[in-house]
């Protein structure tokens, strides 16, 4: 896992807003809790052209996990 977590990707100058629960960034873009693999895991849902696009981070780190889900 060490090669996946490069310090320079995380040690950045930025403002962070700690979130707990659902949070709307703007109309059509929201953050929702998706716990399971990690207790505080969150995903971003973007509403686009009558669809929901979900950015789930490492909720499914291996392709085999997605293939086995129905």
pTM exceeds 0.75, yes or no: no
63 pLDDT more than 70: yes
Per-residue tokens: 68: 């086995």
Nearest Cα to 55, choosing from 25, 22, 32, 26?
Answer: 32
Report d(CA 59, CA 9) in Å as an integer: 19
Whether the CB-CB separation of 31 and 18 falls below 8 Å is answered with: no
Q: Are 53 and 43 in contact (CB under 8 A)?
A: no
Q: What is the pLDDT of residues 9-40, one digit of tens each?
A: 778 888 888 888 999 999 999 999 988 777 88
């Amino acid at each position: 896992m060490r090669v996946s977590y490069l310090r320079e990707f995380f040690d950045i100058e930025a403002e962070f807003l700690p979130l707990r629960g659902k949070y709307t960034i703007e109309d059509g873009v929201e953050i929702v809790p998706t716990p399971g693999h990690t207790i505080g895991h969150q995903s971003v849902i973007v509403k686009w052209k009558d669809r929901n696009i979900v950015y789930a981070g490492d909720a499914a780190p291996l392709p085999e996990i997605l293939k086995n889900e129905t």
